[in-house]
Structure 1
Amino acid sequence: MSRFNKLSPAIWHCKYHLVWTPKYRYKVLKAIKEELENCIQLFSEQKRCKIEVLNVQEDHVHMIIEAPPKVSISEIVGMLKGRTAIRVFGRFKQLKQRPYWGNHFWVKGYCVDTIGLDTGMIRRYVEYQEKKEKKFEK
């Protein structure tokens, strides 16, 4: 089976490694991890994107996502961050009570890297980063 997908009139293989954090990099994601994972999965599917690896840690989100070339990565990230923020603030109202949040849950920026032939190495990094961080903290 080819690693390429088909989309008329193109064949494509567009994978991205994404990382983004909550505002002030507060460690609040552990409490909302399940909801966040479900939202990210659902919203990604709506854009016909496929999540290969998703790792929600206490203070940041790591993921590898495959996206069709007709959807820009900035559009995907903007949609994911915007819609998850709305959902999180609606479901976890105690987060909105903090005066420093305002109406923004995530920082403005994000990190994105394209993935080519080194997919396996990046996949292992995303999957096992939490374990590495815990060892480092000890």
Structure 2
Amino acid sequence: MNGEFSVRKGRHCVSALHAHLVFVTKYRAKVFNGAILERLEAILREVCVDFEVELTEFNGEEDHIHLLIEYPPKVQISKLINSLKGVSSRLLRKEYSAIHQYLWKGALWSPSYFAGSCKGASLEIIANYIERQNRPS
């Protein structure tokens, strides 16, 4: 993440909307390792492209992930999150059968999430916080 302030320009609006998202696994199960987190990041980036959202920063630990996104005003955060969690859960469960031992009735994610607006804090500070997560190998 660079310290440069970016503005998204559309036909009828100019915006700079950023959000910090945190998703936690169901029952804080320690599901993720380095390889799964790499695949998870790729999946989330694909979903973000479909929504015209930029995934600026990604990292995670064994039981949760952090995302820093930049999104257009037309995107409803709740719908984006529903898609991010749904697609990632379905694909990870399909590709990594070993994670089924950690899941309860097939649910990867807790139904709750954190979404915070980032204009009150420096984006660089939030990006640094996400980078410093204790990512498993």
Q: Do both proteins adopt the same fold according to a TM-score greater than 0.5, normalized to the shorter chain?
A: yes
TM-score range, shorter chain: 0.7 to 0.9
Higher strand proportion (structure 1 or 2): 2
Equivalent residues in 2 for 1:54-69, closer than 5 Å: 54-69=58-73
1:108 and 2:96 are equivalent in the alignment: no
Equivalent residues in 2 for 1:6-25, closer than 5 Å: 6-25=9-28
> What is the match of residue 134 of structure 1?
none
Q: How much has 1:29 moved relative to structure 2? A: 1.2
Q: How much has 1:99 moved relative to structure 2? A: 8.2
For residues 130 and 100 of structure 1, the distance between their equivalents in structure 2, rounded to whole angstroms, comes to 22
For residues 102 and 77 of structure 2, the distance between their equivalents in structure 1, rounded to whole angstroms, comes to 31
Which structure would you say has the larger RCO, counting Cα contacts within 8 Å and 6 or more residues apart? 2
- Give unmatched runs, 5+ long, in structure 2: none
Q: How much has 1:56 moved relative to structure 2? A: 2.4
Q: How much has 1:94 moved relative to structure 2? A: 2.9
For residues 8 and 80 of structure 1, the distance between their equivalents in structure 2, rounded to whole angstroms, comes to 27
Equivalent residues in 2 for 1:72-87, closer than 5 Å: 72-87=76-91
Deviation by residue 1:86-127 (Cα, 9 ceiling, x = unmatched) = 00111112333x385213110001001111151111111111
Conserved in 2, the CA contact under 8 Å of 1:29 and 1:57? Answer: yes
* Structure 1 length-normalised TM: 0.86
User: Which structure's CA Rg is the greater one?
Assistant: 1
SS at match of 1:101: coil
Equivalent residues in 2 for 1:1-138, closer than 5 Å: 3-30=6-33, 32-96=36-100, 98=101, 101-116=104-119, 118-130=122-134
For residues 39 and 9 of structure 2, the distance between their equivalents in structure 1, rounded to whole angstroms, comes to 32
For residues 3 and 58 of structure 1, the distance between their equivalents in structure 2, rounded to whole angstroms, comes to 32
Identity of aligned residues (%): 28
SS at match of 1:54: strand
Q: How many residues are aligned here?
A: 130
Structure 1 segments of 4 or more deviating over 3 A? none
> What is the match of residue 136 of structure 1?
none
Q: How much has 1:46 moved relative to structure 2? A: 1.1
Deviation by residue 1:29-52 (Cα, 9 ceiling, x = unmatched) = 115112111101111111111011
For residues 47 and 82 of structure 1, the distance between their equivalents in structure 2, rounded to whole angstroms, comes to 14
For residues 68 and 126 of structure 2, the distance between their equivalents in structure 1, rounded to whole angstroms, comes to 8
Conserved in 1, the CA contact under 8 Å of 2:23 and 2:114? Answer: yes
